[in-house]
């Protein structure tokens, strides 16, 4: 059977675009879960929080959703730091972070979700921006800007975090704490403070990713629950601590979903994507870029 | 002095009588109506609109002196749109809160989850919107406000396919796509049935999983097959995704739409505005001259005055009129049987034709409407993205059934520019 080249190229491009977005929503989990060993199940709720902040600033002041997310990121960073402090003093310090910590973040998830319900109500919310309704047509390839913009913004965000973690002292300290907190303490670093900053960064990325999500699709307060499985799967597939692995895993998952939806049927897309995850972990349990 | 004394005595006696007479009715216990309602989670958009409507009715009935002279109280819990919480909610309502009457929350899945508990207590269950929820249970005290009729699977898409079959030249091919969830699957099964009946060749028949982010791959696959008809049964975020992808990919067909949930709500109407032109979709109520039932306009004025503050759908065309009709039916039933006896209420519900703000309602054997009244509308003459225009007639033109028809089908669907 001949494969329709138009469908193939478009599916590959759509997968790439989706992958860029997935990497934006997953990079925070790579930091929190992969590097800091914190099972922040509330991460998707913060993504939705970011969507609603973008919605509020966009609908009230006409601010572009991407600019809105940059405005929201510093407060989100502080909220993340505060949240980690609570988590540390309540659980991690006593070595009770596994089950109690998980319950804590479940609680945070519901608090964020119900808070959004009370403030914004239950309707689906959208944002308006010039690029949302536009599509770039290149021959038989069409590129919806509502997917292109999240790709560029998502990859830019990951690139900035990569530069930060590889070129700055604090960034290297975050990588160090993910490998050996004890060794970091021996060289004069404070693992708790480093983890606090890294967790703040993780929440800030969630809020930034939320703006990308609401550019792609309408959101309502409970939508985040549907992303929990996907973001953790990408983190594991990418190798837990690797930012490059997260991007690659996101693109693999995006392309697998798009190709399956196009040529096999959309109902098979999650099965193929997660089958790929199982296959990869079977062959390489540490993930693609895991060490 | 004696006269004055007698007068004072009589005055006190009269006062005592008045004081005693007053509390007789107020000392009667309230009628407690219990329900679980989706106030958070994916169904909360509908659940909160239904709750606001119930509260409007509650205020009205209590202002009129209550039901059978008893104040009406609601006991309700958030079912979180999660079927797992529903049996517990209804057990608590019946066993601990001791409510007199139970009604349902919003949505097929929570209602189906409540059925075994309700049936176990033999309670009369006046449910809200649920698609074919009693198909397996065959419970004779179940009633639903969803106007799907005795054969919901088939009725849901009958209008779309009868309209398509009447086109000249007759369409030959159809693509069917829908959500991989209960509603989507039932609607797709009905669509297949009608496609076969009318001789349309199904060239695409796929469901997509929940949490699908991008629909362009699906729409491109459909476009390549160039079907005459595209039938879509989707939930609100998917409806938005499918419509956006339709415009991005440039999909055209004689008819596009069918079972798209979400277009009935103000949020999606406003977002898509003019892009809805020529989309054909199911609905239950449209503000067309053929559906001007007594009382519906007055109710919508009351609802809309409070909708924005309550954070619910500002148009209120899809859920609120039917939720209010549900309470009208409950009110009439309790008054007619003179109490809350479940057997008597069920008997009355079975045999009565109710006059409501959404027209006459008569329930069939298993609680579905005796005659289906799903309407098929087409969005026409939509300009810009102003949500207020959807309050006017001529924007959601009723094409089917014939007795509510308010305009003619326009074909084909082509992505329109503003």
Nearest to B73 by CA among B54, B89, B58, B92: B58
Share of chain A above pLDDT 90, in %: 60
| A181-236: pLDDT as tens digits | 888 888 888 899 999 999 999 999 999 999 999 999 989 888 888 888 888 889 88
Nearest-angstrom CA–CA distance, A76 and A64: 18
Go through chain A and tell me how many residues it has: 291
Residue B44 to residue A120, Cβ atoms within 8 A: no
The class (CATH top level) of B31-149+293-362 is: alpha beta
Q: Which of B210, B236, B244 sits opposite A124 (nearest CB)?
A: B236
**If you count residue pairs, one on A and one on B, with CB atoms under 8 Å apart, how many are there?**
132
Q: Which token pair is B170?
A: 């007759």
Nearest to B153 by CA among B173, B125, B133, B171: B133
CB A261 within 8 A of CB A21: no
Residue B247 to residue A133, Cβ atoms within 8 A: yes
Q: A261 to chain B: which residues are within 8 Å by CB?
A: 208, 212, 217-218, 221
Lowest average pLDDT, out of A30-34, A102-106, B38-42, B366-370, goes to B38-42
Half-sphere exposure for A221 (CA within 13 Å, toward CB): 25
Give burial (CB, 10 Å; 0-12/13-18/19+) of B97: middle
Strand partners, A144: A135
State residue B18's pLDDT score. 43
Phi-psi group of A94: left, alpha or beta (phi > 0 → left; psi -120 to 50 → alpha; rest → beta): alpha
**Radius of gyration (C-alpha) of chain A in whole angstroms:** 19
Higher local confidence (pLDDT), A48 or B213: A48
Q: Which of B221, B275, B309 to mutate to test the interface with A (most CBs of A within 10 A)?
A: B221
DSSP-assigned letters across all residues of A31-72: IIIIIT----TTHHHHHHHHHHHHHHHHHHH---HHHHHHHH
Window 17-46 of B: residues touching A by CB (8 A cutoff) are 39-42, 44-45
Q: Which token pair is B281?
A: 């979709």
Q: Which of A219, A221, A258 sits opposite B217 (nearest CB)?
A: A258
Contacts of A69 (CB under 8 A, 6+ apart): A50, A53, A54, A207, A208, A210, A211, A212
Q: Which of A14, A18, A218 sits opposite B237 (nearest CB)?
A: A218
Q: B311 to chain A: which residues are within 8 Å by CB?
A: 120-123
A81 touches chain B (CB under 8 A): no
Q: What are phi and psi of B27, to 5 degrees?
A: -80, -15
Q: What are phi and psi of B257, to 5 degrees?
A: 135, -135
What is the β-pairing status of strands B375-379 and B280-283?
antiparallel
Q: How many CB atoms lie within 10 A of CB B359?
A: 17
ipTM above 0.90, yes or no: no
Question: Which 3 state secondary structure label does DSSP give A236?
Answer: helix
CB B70 within 8 A of CB B44: no
CB B286 within 8 A of CB B66: no
Kindly tell me if the per-residue pLDDT of A70 is higher than 80.
yes
Q: What are phi and psi of A198, to 5 degrees?
A: -65, -40
DSSP-assigned letters across all residues of B168-228: SSPP-EEEEEEESSHHHHHHHHHHHHHHHHHT-EEEEEEEE-TT----HHHHHHHHHH--S
Nearest to A207 by CA among A24, A12, A30, A64: A24
Q: Which of A4, A113, A267 sits opposite B209 (nearest CB)?
A: A267
Chain A residue with minimal CA distance to B245? A144
Give the DSSP letter of residue B359. E
State residue B23's pLDDT score. 39
State residue A1's pLDDT score. 54
Go through chain B and tell me how many residues it has: 418
Contacts of B289 (CB under 8 A, 6+ apart): B393, B406
Q: Which token pair is A249?
A: 């895993």
User: Going residue by residue through chain B (418 aa), what tens digit of pLDDT does each one get?
Assistant: 455 455 555 554 544 444 444 433 456 899 999 999 998 777 888 899 999 999 999 999 999 999 999 999 999 999 988 889 999 999 999 999 999 999 998 888 889 999 999 999 999 999 999 888 898 899 999 999 999 998 888 898 999 999 999 999 999 999 999 998 878 888 999 999 999 999 999 999 999 987 888 899 999 999 999 999 999 999 888 999 999 999 999 999 999 999 998 899 998 899 899 999 999 999 999 999 999 999 999 999 999 999 988 888 999 999 999 999 999 999 999 999 999 999 999 999 999 999 999 999 999 999 999 999 999 999 999 999 899 999 999 999 999 999 999 999 999 998 876 6
CB A211 within 8 A of CB A51: yes
Nearest-angstrom CA–CA distance, B321 and B327: 10
Question: Which 3 state secondary structure label does DSSP give B399?
Answer: strand
CB B296 within 8 A of CB B357: yes
State residue A282's pLDDT score. 87
Q: Which of A261, A263, A270 to mutate to test the interface with B (most CBs of B within 10 A)?
A: A261
Contacts of A14 (CB under 8 A, 6+ apart): A147, A254, A258, B214, B216, B217
Domain boundaries defined on chain A = 27-223
State residue B32's pLDDT score. 97
What is the β-pairing status of strands B173-179 and B396-400?
unpaired
Give the DSSP letter of residue A30. I
- pTM: predicted TM-score of the whole model, two decimal places: 0.86
Nearest-angstrom CA–CA distance, A73 and A55: 14
Give the DSSP letter of residue A287. -
Averaged pLDDT score across all residues of chain A: 90
Give all strands of the β-sheet with B125-127 in edge-to-edge order.
Answer: B72-78, B31-37, B101-103, B125-127, B142-144
Provide the CA B264 distance to its chain's centre, in angstroms: 10
State residue B27's pLDDT score. 67
Residue B312 to residue A222, Cβ atoms within 8 A: no
| A241-285: pLDDT as tens digits | 899 999 999 999 999 999 999 999 999 988 887 888 888 888 888
DSSP-assigned letters across all residues of B60-103: HHHHTT-BTTB-EEEEEEE-TT-GGGHHHHHHHHHHTS--SEEE
User: Any idea which residue has 């297949």 for tokens?
Assistant: B192
Question: Which 3 state secondary structure label does DSSP give B240?
Answer: helix
Q: What are phi and psi of B167, to 5 degrees?
A: -70, 150
Helices (H) and strands (E) in chain A, counts: 11, 2
State residue B22's pLDDT score. 40
State residue A291's pLDDT score. 65
Q: Which token pair is B357?
A: 């703000």
Decide yes or no: CATH 3.40.50.720 for domain B152-289+375-404. no
Q: Which token pair is A177?
A: 């704490």
Residue B211 to residue A226, Cβ atoms within 8 A: yes
Q: Which token pair is A40?
A: 């922040």
Q: pLDDT category, A3, cuts 50, 70, 90?
A: confident
Residue B48 to residue A124, Cβ atoms within 8 A: no
Delimiting residues of CATH 3.40.50.2300 domain(s) in chain B: 31-149+293-362, 152-289+375-404
């Amino acid at each position: 059977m001949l494969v329709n080249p138009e469908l193939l190229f478009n599916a590959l491009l759509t997968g790439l675009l989706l992958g860029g977005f997935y990497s934006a929503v997953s990079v925070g989990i790579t930091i929190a879960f992969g590097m800091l060993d914190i099972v922040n199940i509330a991460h998707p709720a913060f993504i939705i929080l970011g969507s609603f902040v973008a919605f509020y600033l966009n609908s009230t002041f006409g601010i572009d959703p991407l600019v809105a997310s940059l405005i929201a990121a510093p407060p989100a960073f502080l909220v993340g730091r505060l949240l980690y402090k609570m988590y540390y003093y309540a659980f991690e310090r006593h070595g009770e972070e596994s089950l109690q910590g998980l319950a804590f973040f479940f609680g945070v998830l519901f608090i964020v979700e119900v808070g959004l319900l009370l403030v914004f109500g239950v309707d689906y919310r959208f944002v308006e921006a010039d690029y949302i309704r536009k599509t770039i047509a290149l021959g038989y390839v069409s590129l919806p800007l509502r997917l292109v913009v999240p790709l560029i913004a998502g990859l830019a965000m990951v690139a900035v975090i990569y530069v930060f973690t590889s070129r700055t002292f604090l960034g290297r300290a975050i990588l160090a704490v993910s490998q050996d907190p004890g060794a970091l303490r021996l060289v004069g670093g404070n693992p708790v403070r480093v983890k606090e900053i890294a967790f703040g960064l993780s929440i800030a990325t969630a809020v930034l990713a939320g703006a990308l999500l609401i550019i792609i699709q309408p959101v309502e307060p409970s939508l985040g629950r549907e992303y929990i499985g996907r973001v953790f799967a990408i983190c594991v597939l990418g190798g837990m601590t690797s930012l490059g692995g997260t991007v690659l895993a996101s693109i693999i998952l995006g392309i697998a979903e798009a190709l399956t939806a196009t040529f096999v049927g959309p109902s098979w897309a999650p099965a193929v994507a997660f089958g790929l995850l199982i296959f990869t972990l079977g062959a390489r349990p540490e993930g693609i870029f895991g060490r | 002095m004696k006269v004055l004394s007698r007068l004072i005595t009589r005055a006190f006696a009269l006062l005592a009588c008045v004081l005693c007479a007053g509390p007789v009715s107020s000392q009667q216990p309230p009628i407690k109506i219990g329900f679980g309602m989706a106030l958070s989670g994916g169904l909360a958009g509908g659940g909160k609109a239904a709750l606001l409507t119930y509260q409007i009715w509650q205020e009205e009935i209590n202002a009129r002196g209550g039901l059978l002279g008893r104040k009406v109280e609601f006991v309700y819990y958030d079912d979180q749109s999660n079927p797992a919480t529903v049996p517990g909610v209804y057990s608590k309502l019946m066993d601990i809160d001791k409510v007199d009457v139970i009604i349902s929350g919003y949505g097929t899945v929570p209602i189906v989850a409540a059925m075994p508990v309700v049936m176990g207590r033999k309670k009369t269950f006046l449910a809200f919107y649920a698609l074919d929820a009693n198909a397996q249970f065959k419970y004779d005290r179940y009633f639903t406000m969803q106007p799907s009729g005795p054969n919901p699977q088939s009725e849901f898409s009958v209008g779309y396919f009868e309209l398509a079959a009447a086109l000249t030249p007759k369409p030959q091919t159809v693509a069917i796509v829908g959500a991989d969830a209960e509603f989507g699957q039932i609607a797709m099964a009905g669509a297949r049935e009608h496609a076969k009946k009318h001789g349309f060749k199904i060239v695409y028949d796929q469901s997509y999983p929940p949490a699908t982010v991008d629909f362009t791959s699906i729409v491109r696959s459909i476009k390549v097959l160039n079907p005459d008809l595209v039938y879509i049964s989707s939930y609100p975020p998917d409806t938005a995704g499918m419509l956006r992808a339709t415009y991005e990919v440039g999909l055209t067909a004689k008819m596009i739409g069918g079972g798209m949930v979400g277009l009935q709500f103000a949020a999606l109407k406003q977002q898509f505005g003019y892009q809805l032109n020529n989309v054909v979709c199911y609905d239950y109520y449209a503000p067309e001259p053929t559906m001007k039932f007594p009382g519906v306009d007055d109710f919508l004025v009351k609802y809309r005055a409070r909708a924005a503050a309550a954070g619910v759908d500002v148009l209120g065309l899809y859920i609120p009129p039917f939720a209010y009709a549900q309470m009208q039916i409950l009110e009439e039933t309790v008054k007619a049987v003179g109490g809350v006896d479940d057997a008597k209420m069920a008997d009355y519900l079975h045999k009565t034709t109710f006059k409501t703000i959404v027209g006459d309602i008569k329930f069939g054997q298993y609680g579905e409407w005796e005659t289906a009244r799903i309407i098929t509308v087409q969005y026409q003459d939509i300009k810009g993205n102003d949500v207020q225009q959807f309050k006017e007639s001529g924007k959601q033109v009723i094409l089917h059934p014939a007795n509510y028809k308010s305009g003619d089908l326009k074909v084909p669907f082509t992505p329109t520019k503003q």
